[in-house]
């Protein structure tokens, strides 16, 4: 059994109703929807030209591209799972299913997305881990696939994006440390081409300048975005002749490795070195002393991304007339003990 026409015949319902039921349109009553889905699943319905045409080539699926690599696999980072939770619920209200598209570390993200786009697996895409120069943006624009980016790029932003408020985090962290008397403040950024490293470094330097503090070039530490990266940051700090009195981290998992390395050296965060983490994560509560970090709702970010994406999709533009969203996602300071020390002037 194939095709919407034969499915309609089998059910003795009009093709239009079957199509609307398959596509989850709200004008089909619940009982009919169930009958159609039951029959479609049991009889092995596959969309043919008629179905495709009625559905205007749509899949009713939205893709969320994430990069799967050794770091994310061992990091036990809950970031994407949290965002997915928000996305799924918000999209389901509009009868869209979220499919997560994990790009392997062995594949170029652009080539991966190109194949997904060519196969038309999804109607619209959310990309993440934006690079400074991100060719995926050009690809999606040329293919006219609606999309939103989680993260900015270094290029023009004539497209929808939402990014974390790295500027706000850098300014709040530096202001707090400067008020406690710190003058030698280091920053840890990723050692790859992800754009957030550039954004955070710029924001950090801007915040330091605002407080008339000088950034020592050796205090800009590049490391992997992982627990292990935090450990290597600890190594770098301990090896310095002129050690900073404070460090601001761009990635939450770094704090765990840094704590471990400091502990091994007999040093205590908040007493021997002030540490300001990034996003408050589930691990924070197990760190002692408590890490000063920044709170945000992953679920709300997922909802925000869903709504920003719907605004780029012609079929939903009426309901979401905001056009291209450009939004910095707020992060709220959570005071811990990891930067409690006061520096004498």
Interface residues for a copy of itself in 102-121 (CB under 8 A)?
102-107, 114-121
Q: Minimum Å distance from CB 87 to a copy of itself?
A: 8
Say which residue the tokens 């619209």 belong to: 124
CA quadruple 262, 268, 274, 276: dihedral positive or negative? positive
The verdict on 295 binding a copy of itself (CB under 8 A) reads no
Q: Minimum Å distance from CB 133 to a copy of itself?
A: 18
Q: Minimum Å distance from CB 147 to a copy of itself?
A: 13
What pairs with residue 62 in β-bridges?
98, 124
**DSSP label at residue 129:** S
| Contacting residues for 252 by C-beta, under 8 A, at least 6 apart | 77, 277, 278, 279, 280, 281, 283, 284, 293
The verdict on 283 binding a copy of itself (CB under 8 A) reads yes
**Does residue 149 contact residue 130 with C-beta atoms inside 8 Å?**
yes
- Give the tokens for residue 208: 């330091």
Can you tell me which of 8, 28, 98, 160 binds a copy of itself, judged by CB under 8 A? 98
The verdict on 84 binding a copy of itself (CB under 8 A) reads yes
CA distances (Å), origin 93, targets 22, 54, 260, 290: 15, 21, 44, 39
In angstroms, the CA 2 to CA 45 distance is 5
In angstroms, the CA 215 to CA 203 distance is 12
Q: Which of residues 92 and 179 has its CB atom nearest to a copy of itself in the complex?
A: 92
- Contact map string, positions 127 to 166, toward a copy of itself, x by CB under 8 A: ------------x--xxx----------------------
| DSSP conformation letters of 221-272 | EEE-SSHHHHHHHHHHHHH-SS--SEEEESSTTHHHHHHHHHHHTT--BTTT
The verdict on 85 binding a copy of itself (CB under 8 A) reads yes
In angstroms, the CA 284 to CA 253 distance is 9
**Does residue 334 contact residue 292 with C-beta atoms inside 8 Å?**
yes
In angstroms, the CA 214 to CA 80 distance is 36
Q: Minimum Å distance from CB 115 to a copy of itself?
A: 6
Say which residue the tokens 């594949």 belong to: 107
The verdict on 77 binding a copy of itself (CB under 8 A) reads yes
Q: Which stretch binds a copy of itself (CB under 8 A): 70-78, 158-166, 181-189, 306-314?
A: 70-78
The verdict on 48 binding a copy of itself (CB under 8 A) reads yes
What pairs with residue 147 in β-bridges?
125
The verdict on 2 binding a copy of itself (CB under 8 A) reads yes
The verdict on 25 binding a copy of itself (CB under 8 A) reads no
Can you tell me which of 30, 49, 314, 344 binds a copy of itself, judged by CB under 8 A? 49
- Give the tokens for residue 232: 């290597």
In angstroms, the CA 275 to CA 161 distance is 30
Can you tell me which of 13, 35, 54, 60 binds a copy of itself, judged by CB under 8 A? 60
Q: Which of residues 62 and 162 has its CB atom nearest to a copy of itself in the complex?
A: 62
The verdict on 266 binding a copy of itself (CB under 8 A) reads no
The verdict on 277 binding a copy of itself (CB under 8 A) reads no
Can you tell me which of 5, 52, 133, 295 binds a copy of itself, judged by CB under 8 A? 52
The verdict on 268 binding a copy of itself (CB under 8 A) reads no
- Contact map string, positions 224 to 263, toward a copy of itself, x by CB under 8 A: ---x----------------------------x---x---
Question: Which of 232, 212, 217 lies closest to 186, judged by CA?
Answer: 217
The verdict on 46 binding a copy of itself (CB under 8 A) reads yes
In angstroms, the CA 118 to CA 122 distance is 10
The verdict on 264 binding a copy of itself (CB under 8 A) reads no
Q: Minimum Å distance from CB 109 to a copy of itself?
A: 13
Q: Which of residues 58 and 235 has its CB atom nearest to a copy of itself in the complex?
A: 58
- Which residues ranging from 155 to 214 are in contact with a copy of itself (CB under 8 A)? none
């Amino acid at each position: 059994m194939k095709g919407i026409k034969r499915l309609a015949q089998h059910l003795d319902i009009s093709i239009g109703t079957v199509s609307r039921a398959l596509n989850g349109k709200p004008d089909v009553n619940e009982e009919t929807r169930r009958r159609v889905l039951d029959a479609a699943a049991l009889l092995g319905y596959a969309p043919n030209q008629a179905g495709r045409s009625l559905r205007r080539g749509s899949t009713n699926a939205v893709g969320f591209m994430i990069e799967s690599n050794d770091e994310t696999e061992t990091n036990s980072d809950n970031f994407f799972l949290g965002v997915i939770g928000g996305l799924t619920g918000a999209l389901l209200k509009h009868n869209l299913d979220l499919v997560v598209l994990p790009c392997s570390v062995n594949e170029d993200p652009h080539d991966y997305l190109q194949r997904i786009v060519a196969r038309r697996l999804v109607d619209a895409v959310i990309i993440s881990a934006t690079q400074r120069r991100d060719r995926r943006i050009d690809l999606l624009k040329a293919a006219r696939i609606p999309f939103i980016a989680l993260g900015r790029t270094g290029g023009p932003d004539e497209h929808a994006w939402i990014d974390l408020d790295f500027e706000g985090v850098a300014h709040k962290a530096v202001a707090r440390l400067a008020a406690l008397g710190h003058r030698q403040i280091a920053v840890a950024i990723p050692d790859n081409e992800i754009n957030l490293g550039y954004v955070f470094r710029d924001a950090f330097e801007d915040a330091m300048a605002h407080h008339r503090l000088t950034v020592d070039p050796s205090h800009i530490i590049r490391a992997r975005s992982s627990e292990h990266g935090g450990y290597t940051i600890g190594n770098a700090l301990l090896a310095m002749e002129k050690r900073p009195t404070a460090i601001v981290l761009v990635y939450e998992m770094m704090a765990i490795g840094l704590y471990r390395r400091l502990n091994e050296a007999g040093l205590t965060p908040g007493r021997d070195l002030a540490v300001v983490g990034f996003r408050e994560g589930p691990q924070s509560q197990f760190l002692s002393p408590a890490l000063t970090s920044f709170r945000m709702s992953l679920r709300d970010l997922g909802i925000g991304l869903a709504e920003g994406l719907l605004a780029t999709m012609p079929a939903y533009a009426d309901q979401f007339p905001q056009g291209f969203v450009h939004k910095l996602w707020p992060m709220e300071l959570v005071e811990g003990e990891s930067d409690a020390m006061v520096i004498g002037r």
